[in-house]
Structure 1
Amino acid sequence: MTGLFNRRYFENYIASFFKEEKEGIHSIVLCDIDYFKSINDKYGHFVGDAVIKHVANIINNGIKAEKVFVRFGGDELMIFLPYRSAKQSYAIAEAFRKEVEQQTLLVKEYKVGVTISIGISSFQHHHDLSNTIIKADQALYQAKEQGRNQVAITEEN
Structure 2
Amino acid sequence: MLTFIKNESKSNGELQQARVISLFSLVGMSVTFVMGVISLFNSNNVLTITLFVSSIIYCLAYIVLKKYNKLNLSSFIIIYSLYILMFYLVFTGGVEQTGPLWIFIVAPVSVYVLGLSYGLVNLLFFLSIIAIIMFSPIEMPQYATYSTEFKVRLILSFLTTTFLSALYEYSRMLSYNSALKLGKKYQQLALSDPLTTLANRRNALTILQQEKSRISRNNEPLSVLLCDLDHFKMVNDKYGHNCGDMVLTELSQVFKQSVRQQDCVARWGGEEFLFILPQTSAEQASVIAEKIRTNVHHHKVHFLKHEISLTISIGISQLTDDQNIDELINNADRNLYQAKKNGRNQVYPQQTTSIDL
Name the TM-score, length of structure 2 as normaliser: 0.41
How far does residue 68 in structure 1 lie from its aligned partner after superposition?
1.6
Match of 1:140 among 336, 343, 351: 336
Match of 2:211 among 17, 21, 25: 17
Q: CA-to-partner distance for each residue in 1:103-143, whole Å, 9 max, x for gaps? A: 11101222111000000010144852211111100110111
Taking structure 1 as reference, are residues 113 and 72 closer, same or farther at Cα in structure 2, changes over 3 Å only? same
Please say which of residues 15-24 and 64-73 is displaced more in the overlay: 15-24
Instruction: Check whether the contact 1:33–1:76 (CA below 8 A) recurs between aligned residues.
Output: yes
Aligned partner letter, 2:312: I
1: CA distance, partners of 2:264 / 2:314: 16
Higher normalized strand content (fraction of residues): 1
> Percent identical across equivalent pairs?
36
SS in 1 for 2:324: helix
Aligned partner letter, 1:147: G
How far does residue 15 in structure 1 lie from its aligned partner after superposition?
2.8
How far does residue 85 in structure 1 lie from its aligned partner after superposition?
0.9
Q: Could you tell me which residue of structure 1 aligns to residue 198 of structure 2? A: 4
Taking structure 1 as reference, are residues 102 and 28 closer, same or farther at Cα in structure 2, changes over 3 Å only? same
2: CA distance, partners of 1:126 / 1:66: 24
Name the TM-score, length of structure 1 as normaliser: 0.91
Match of 2:260 among 45, 59, 64: 64
Please say which of residues 18-27 and 85-94 is displaced more in the overlay: 18-27
Q: Could you tell me which residue of structure 2 aligns to residue 111 of structure 1? A: 307
Larger Rg: 2
Aligned partner letter, 1:66: Q
2: CA distance, partners of 1:121 / 1:14: 13
How far does residue 51 in structure 1 lie from its aligned partner after superposition?
0.9
Q: Could you tell me which residue of structure 2 aligns to residue 34 of structure 1? A: 230
Q: CA RMSD in A?
A: 1.7
Instruction: Check whether the contact 1:65–1:81 (CA below 8 A) recurs between aligned residues.
Output: no
SS in 2 for 1:147: coil
SS in 2 for 1:95: helix
Q: Could you tell me which residue of structure 2 aligns to residue 91 of structure 1? A: 287
1: CA distance, partners of 2:246 / 2:255: 14
SS in 2 for 1:84: coil
2: CA distance, partners of 1:32 / 1:99: 14
Higher normalized helix content (fraction of residues): 2
SS in 2 for 1:71: strand
Match of 2:270 among 46, 64, 74: 74
| Number of residue pairs matched by the alignment | 154
SS in 2 for 1:101: helix
Instruction: Check whether the contact 1:18–1:126 (CA below 8 A) recurs between aligned residues.
Output: no
Q: CA-to-partner distance for each residue in 1:10-45, whole Å, 9 max, x for gaps? A: 122223334443422110100100000011000000
2: CA distance, partners of 1:107 / 1:29: 28
1: CA distance, partners of 2:292 / 2:323: 29
How far does residue 153 in structure 1 lie from its aligned partner after superposition?
2.5
Structure 1 segments, 4+ long, off by >4 Å, are none
List gaps (5 residues or longer) in structure 2. Answer: 1-194, 351-357
